[in-house]
């Protein structure tokens, strides 16, 4: 899954793809590099990020979706959002996956998405971006909360009409967890990943910067690729990454 941020303030590539035409070019480039899914995000969810209104998020997102639809873009599209009114509009633009960064859409919204045959990705986020790192979850506390999250959300999704293949989970590494908890979550996901369809995203995240002394997000690509290689080898369903080309090369070597 290639990351395409349509935001001015994302931690890694904020501001690079605000122009819809540049975003379109980047989407096609990632497909050429080997992306299986393109994940569009129009609101930053980095720790400390400011809230973006529904109107502003849609203003950033809709022109890109329009261009992708009219341009014959044939790679599956995911949209990273937590706003129900945006989620339910996406089907009309050919979007196949909703990446809900708060993993808690209401029952009415879930029923609509199930009827649209959407894949729903429920991510675990402790608190909201503004406050998530003020009192982050610690090691075993994080594991217990996330296992409970998987159980409760999967039940809600099945009751809403989702088939098991359309229910994916993201443990939200880096979202309201301390560094030790993030490492435990990675290990836990590798050990128990076969129990769920998991999406894992660790690309360039700040916990690696703190642990390894890498302030520039680009410098975190080598450790990111090391972990992503482990994810591939352990059969994780989906890997969300900024550097699609290098991960595609690794995937080809392993296969």
pLDDT in the model for residue 9: 55
pLDDT in the model for residue 80: 96
Q: Reply yes or no on whether 240 is catalytic.
A: yes
Q: Which of 83, 177, 240, 246 is catalytic?
A: 240
pLDDT in the model for residue 243: 96
What domains can you pick out in the chain, each with its CATH number? 2-202+235-254 (3.20.20.20)
- Beta pairing, strands 77-81 & 97-100: parallel
pLDDT in the model for residue 107: 97
pLDDT in the model for residue 12: 53
Q: Which of 205, 225, 251, 252 is catalytic?
A: 205
pTM for the full predicted model = 0.93
Q: Reply yes or no on whether 46 is catalytic.
A: no
The distance of Cα 169 from the centroid of its chain, to the nearest Å, equals 10
Q: Count CB-CB contacts under 10 A for residue 211.
A: 14
Name residue, tokens 């790679």. Answer: 75
pLDDT in the model for residue 123: 97
pLDDT in the model for residue 131: 75
Q: How do the pLDDT tens digits run along the chain, 255 residues long?
A: 999 999 885 545 656 778 999 999 999 999 999 999 999 999 987 777 778 999 999 999 999 999 999 999 999 999 999 999 999 999 999 999 999 999 989 999 999 999 999 999 999 998 777 777 788 999 899 999 999 999 999 999 999 999 999 999 999 999 999 999 999 999 999 998 889 999 999 999 999 999 999 999 999 999 999 999 999 999 999 999 999 999 999 999 999
């Amino acid at each position: 899954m290639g990351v395409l941020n349509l935001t001015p303030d994302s931690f890694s590539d904020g501001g690079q793809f605000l122009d819809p035409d540049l975003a379109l070019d980047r989407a096609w480039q990632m497909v050429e590099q080997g992306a299986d899914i393109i994940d569009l995000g129009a609101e930053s969810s980095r720790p400390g990020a400011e809230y973006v209104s529904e109107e502003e998020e849609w203003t950033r997102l809709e022109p890109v979706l329009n261009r992708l639809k009219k341009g014959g873009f044939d790679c599956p599209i995911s949209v990273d959002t937590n706003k129900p009114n945006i989620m339910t509009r996406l089907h009309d633009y050919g979007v196949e996956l909703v990446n809900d960064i708060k993993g808690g859409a209401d029952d009415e919204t879930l029923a609509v998405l199930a009827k649209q045959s959407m894949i729903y990705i429920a991510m675990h986020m402790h608190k909201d971006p503004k406050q998530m790192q003020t009192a982050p979850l610690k090691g075993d506390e994080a594991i217990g909360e996330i296992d409970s999250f998987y159980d409760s959300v999967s039940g809600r999704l099945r009751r809403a009409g989702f088939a098991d293949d359309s229910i994916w989970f993201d443990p939200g590494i880096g979202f309201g967890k301390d560094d030790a908890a993030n490492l435990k979550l990675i290990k836990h996901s590798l050990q128990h990943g076969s129990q769920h369809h998991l999406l894992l995203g660790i690309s360039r995240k700040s916990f690696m910067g703190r642990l390894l002394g890498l302030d520039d997000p680009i410098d975190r690509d080598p450790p990111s690729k090391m972990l992503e290689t482990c994810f591939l080898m352990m059969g994780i369903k989906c890997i969300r990454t900024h550097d699609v080309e290098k991960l595609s090369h690794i995937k080809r070597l392993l296969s």
